[in-house]
Amino acid sequence: MANLKFEIVTAERVVYSEEVNMVTAPGVEGELGVLPRHTPLLTTLQPGEVRVKKEGGEEVIMFVSGGFLEVMPDKVVILADTAERAEEIDVARAEEARRRAETRIAERAETMDVARAEAALRRSLIRLKVAQRRRRER
């Protein structure tokens, strides 16, 4: 079966770089699946999980907080604001971020940016989901 070169890159590092069979990413208009020889494409991503299928059915799950996805016939690149592999997620820190965002939303302070708090809540919930999925697979 044909493969794709797949990379997730942030400003700080290369988070992932391997040959894969399929990539699924959270596009702004819905989940996007990419197979080898996909039509070239450039799109923005929303916070969510990126799933990668490799030879033998192995699946790798990662979190991205947004960014861009570029598809070429034999390569897929995600330029992410931030990205983490499931095993890198600090569950305690993500849980604390979730609690903090929920508290801010519940208080609805005059000076608070509600949209920003809701976005922080979404990111923390997705990070927790990715980390929990990794634990279940073990």
Ordered per-residue pLDDT tens for the chain, 138 residues = 568 999 999 999 999 999 999 999 999 999 999 999 899 999 999 999 999 999 888 999 999 999 999 999 889 999 998 999 988 888 888 888 888 888 877 777 555 677 777 888 888 888 888 888 766 666
Q: Are 101 and 117 within 8 A, CB to CB?
A: yes
Cα 128 to Cα 122: distance, rounded to the nearest angstrom: 10
pTM to 2 decimal places: 0.79
Q: What is the CATH T-level fold of the domain 89-137, as seen in this structure?
A: 1.20.5
What span, in angstroms and rounded, lies between the C-alpha atoms of 129 and 68? 22
- Homologous superfamily, domain 4-86: F0F1 ATP synthase delta/epsilon subunit, N-terminal (2.60.15.10)
* Domains of the chain by residue range: 4-86, 89-137
